[in-house]
Amino acid sequence: MQKKLDPREAKNRLAKLSEALFGGPPEIDDAEAEELLAASGIDASELDTRMYSRLNATAQNYWTKQQSVPSLLKQALEELRPPSAPARNDKELAIQAKSFVERLVETAKLIPALAKYQAPRFATRYRNKGQITESDKSLIDKAQFELEEKLRKMGKEEDET
């Protein structure tokens, strides 16, 4: 019969087993960690958000008591801080502004490619050329013309908006 472990011993045992199974933190790179999380059905970005919220709540306790936040907690908060979080100082504001402008410029680079879009062109192909009558050909040509007209009208409506 095993003796009941206290919580600290249980955590240490779990850490040892986990390290034996997966290796220590330096042995696991980001890609492998994300792969392991995904295989477990855990979204890495959601985990980051949840961890940041929990660590931030812990830090709030220190701040409300006007105590200094432990350095490892500060470091974890910095590393997990979401990019969407409001800037805390001018340096962060400059970094966020630069990131926003870079995304905006990348999006703007896509506009010329979209402007070069051309409507599809129809090409009539007949499988059994000998079996198609002139009236069949004229019906196909009429349908093609109508489709091209609809596409032109749709293009003009998009240009106006």
Inter-CA distances, 3 with 31, 88, 95, Å: 38, 49, 54
Is 60 exceeded by the pLDDT of residue 1?
no
Residue pair 69/59 in contact by the 8 Å Cβ criterion: yes
Mean pLDDT to the nearest integer, 71-83? 87
pLDDT at 152: 78
Structure confidence at residue 54 (pLDDT) = 92
* pTM, 2 dp: 0.45
- Mean residue pLDDT of the chain comes to 80
- The per-residue pLDDT for range 19-76, each reduced to its tens digit, is 777 777 777 788 888 888 888 888 888 888 888 889 989 999 999 999 999 999 999 8
Cβ atoms of residues 82 and 48 within 8 Å: yes
Tokens 């970005």 sit at which residue? Answer: 45
- Nearby residues of 93 by Cβ (< 8 Å), 6 or more positions away: 87
